[in-house]
């Protein structure tokens, strides 16, 4: 009989770990595995806040996919997916078509702007190597502009929308970078303003309040002004307006206030909530048992029936079960059910500062920053073993 074809869409956390697990588990000629990704590199999304602020090189946040996979076992296709056709069991790429017996959707998230006028058009988003390069250049450019037009204080006003994980981590890096930029461009640091706007009643909603307090104090000391419990209402090319009527003149808005799943899953006709699909206990789409969904495109419910937040940690844990289930389907053996186990969370606040919960303990400051490094290194180890840890490990 014909060899089953497995197609994996996206080489993010979910897709790449699934591919690596399949590469290990499958025997020769047991399945044809194809991995499709827009770029020929995998980016370490959880590290993107650093190159975005300019505190690290974008190069350190990506790894060539061909360095991770074994090309004798997995076909890598560098292309953009434009349509998923579950009824024909086909995926349409910008430059071709793939047929599958089993599909894995790991296309990741997209920014959610909740229809706030102007945000989609004028804000920046931390989502890929290309987008963070743009943010970094844009910030530097504002300093250069200010030197030519020193009355334009708006050039040096930076607004970050959203005080979730991504927003807080980015702000921590940005606050570290500002003094260096001021030196480089001979700018008085007092001219620089950093605002963090969050609609929820607290920064880092869901996090331990004592740690949130600590995080805010660290960032305030670095010059950040918080606008918490106030929604962003509108964004124009040179200002934002808040729900309380305040207008802030700025040329730079970085929006981190929401993520949704990929539009392609909605367009495929699957039942989705903001681009995310509620998967069954085996990580398949109910009614489409040949299609698995992983990472930011999937929804997994917790015990209280509420969706877990989409994280890299979730995607990596799903990949283990997903790969097992694909192999089991091919071998007609039994599937495993997925259960999420939180290993804790750490948010960095810039150099040597972080907060987090790990192994049931609250961490702050240097010990939390150390834990963050361990988590980063552990991931590099999972995907690339010791050689990748040595090549990319952030030892500075
Ligand atoms: P992704 O990792 O986003 O990968 C999707 C892949 O699909 C990408 O390679 C993309 O290029 C590709 N793709 C997309 N569309 C197409 C297409 N049409 N055709 C072909 N390829 C396509 N989570 C944590 O657990 N801990 C953290 O500390 C943490 N920090 C974060 C910090 C930042 C700055 C950000 C932005 C996120 C952070 N997250 C963190 C969240 C985490 O990064 C995501 O949950 C995770 O990346 C989701 O993995 P994924 O596999 O679903 O998608």
Pick the CATH number of 5-109+261-344 from 3.50.50.100, 3.40.50.10420, 3.40.50.300, 3.40.640.10: 3.50.50.100
Q: What is the pLDDT of residue 396?
A: 45
ipTM tops 0.90: yes
Provide the residue ranges of all domains of the chain, joining segments of one domain with +.
5-109+261-344, 119-257
Secondary structure (3-state) at 395 = coil
- Which of 108, 136, 277, 299 to probe ligand 1 with, by most ligand atoms within 8 A of CB? 108
Point out the ligand 1 atom lying closest to the alpha carbon of residue 108.
Answer: 53
Neighbour-count burial of 57, counting CB atoms closer than 10 A to its CB (0-12 exposed, 13-18 middle, 19+ buried):
exposed
Phi, psi of 44 (to 5 degrees): -90, 85
Q: Is 153 exposed, middle or buried, given 0-12, 13-18 or 19+ CB atoms closer than 10 A? A: middle
- 214/218 Cα distance (integer angstroms): 6
Nearest CA to ligand 1 atom 8: 12
| 169: annotated active-site residue | yes
Instruction: Please provide the CATH number assigned to the domain covering 119-257.
Output: 3.50.50.60
Alpha carbon distance 383, 381 (integer Å) = 6
Relative to the CA of 298, which ligand 1 atom is closest?
A: 52
C-alpha closest to that of 171 among 8, 348, 359: 348
Look at residues 138, 161, 155 and name the one whose alpha carbon lies nearest to residue 234: 161
Calculate the dihedral angle through the C-alpha atoms of 73, 76, 81, 86, rounding to the nearest 10 degrees.
Answer: -10
Q: How buried is residue 120: exposed, middle or buried, by Cβ count under 10 Å (0-12/13-18/19+)?
A: middle
Q: What atom of ligand 1 comes closest to residue 93's alpha carbon?
A: 19
Distances (CA, A) of 331 to 24, 101, 118: 15, 14, 51
Active-site position among 30, 110, 169, 234: 169
Phi, psi values for residue 150, rounded to 5°: -65, -10
- Which residues, other chains included, contact 154 with Cβ-Cβ below 8 Å and sequence gap of 6+? 238, 239, 249, 250, 251
pLDDT confidence of residue 393: 72
Ligand 1 near 11 CB (within 6 A):
yes
396 residues of the chain, pLDDT tens digit each: 689 999 999 999 999 999 999 999 999 889 999 999 999 999 999 999 999 999 999 999 999 999 999 999 999 999 999 999 999 999 999 999 999 999 999 999 999 999 999 999 999 999 999 999 999 999 999 999 999 999 999 999 999 999 999 999 999 999 999 999 999 999 999 999 999 999 999 999 989 999 999 999 999 999 999 999 999 999 999 999 999 999 999 999 999 999 999 999 999 999 999 999 999 999 999 999 999 999 999 999 998 999 999 999 999 999 999 999 999 999 999 999 999 998 889 999 999 999 999 888 999 999 999 999 999 888 999 998 888 888 877 554
């Amino acid at each position: 009989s014909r060899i089953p074809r497995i197609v994996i869409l996206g080489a993010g956390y979910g897709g790449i770990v699934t591919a690596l697990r399949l590469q290990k588990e499958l025997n020769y000629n047991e399945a044809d595995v194809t991995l499709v990704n827009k770029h020929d590199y995998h980016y370490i999304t959880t590290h993107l806040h650093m190159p975005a602020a300019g505190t690290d090189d974008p190069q350190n946040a990506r790894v060539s996919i061909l360095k991770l996979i074994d090309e004798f076992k997995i076909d890598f296709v560098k292309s953009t997916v434009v349509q998923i056709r579950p009824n024909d069991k086909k995926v349409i790429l910008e430059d071709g078509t793939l047929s599958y017996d089993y599909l894995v959707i790991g296309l990741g998230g997209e920014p959610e702007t909740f229809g706030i006028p102007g945000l989609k058009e004028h804000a920046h988003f931390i989502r890929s190597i290309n987008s963070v390069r743009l943010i970094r250049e844009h910030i530097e450019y504002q300093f250069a502009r200010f030197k030519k037009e020193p009355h334009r204080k708006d050039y040096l006003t930076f607004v970050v929308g959203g005080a979730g994980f991504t927003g807080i981590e980015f702000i921590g890096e940005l606050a570290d970078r500002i003094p260096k930029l001021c030196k480089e461009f001979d700018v008085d640091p007092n001219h620089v303003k950093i605002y963090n706007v969050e609609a929820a009643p607290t920064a880092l909603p869901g996090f331990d309040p004592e740690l949130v307090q600590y995080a805010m104090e660290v960032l305030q000391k670095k010059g950040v002004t918080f606008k918490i419990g106030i929604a962003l209402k509108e964004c124009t090319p040179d200002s934002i307006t808040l729900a309380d009527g305040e207008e802030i003149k700025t040329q730079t808005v970085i929006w981190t206030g929401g993520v949704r799943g990929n539009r392609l899953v909605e367009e495929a006709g699957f039942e989705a909530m903001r681009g995310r699909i509620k998967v069954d206990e085996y990580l398949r789409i109910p009614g489409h048992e040949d299609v698995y969904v992983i990472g930011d495109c999937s929804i997994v419910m917790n015990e209280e029936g509420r969706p877990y937040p989409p994280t890299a940690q979730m995607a990596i844990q799903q990949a283990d079960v997903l790969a097992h289930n694909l192999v089991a389907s091919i071998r007609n053996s039994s599937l495993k059910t997925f259960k999420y186990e939180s290993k804790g969370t750490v948010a960095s606040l810039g150099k040597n500062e972080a907060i987090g919960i790990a192994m049931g303990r609250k961490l702050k400051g240097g010990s939390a920053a150390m834990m963050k490094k361990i988590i980063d290194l552990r991931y590099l180890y999972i995907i690339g073993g010791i050689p990748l840890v040595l090549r990319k490990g952030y030892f500075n």
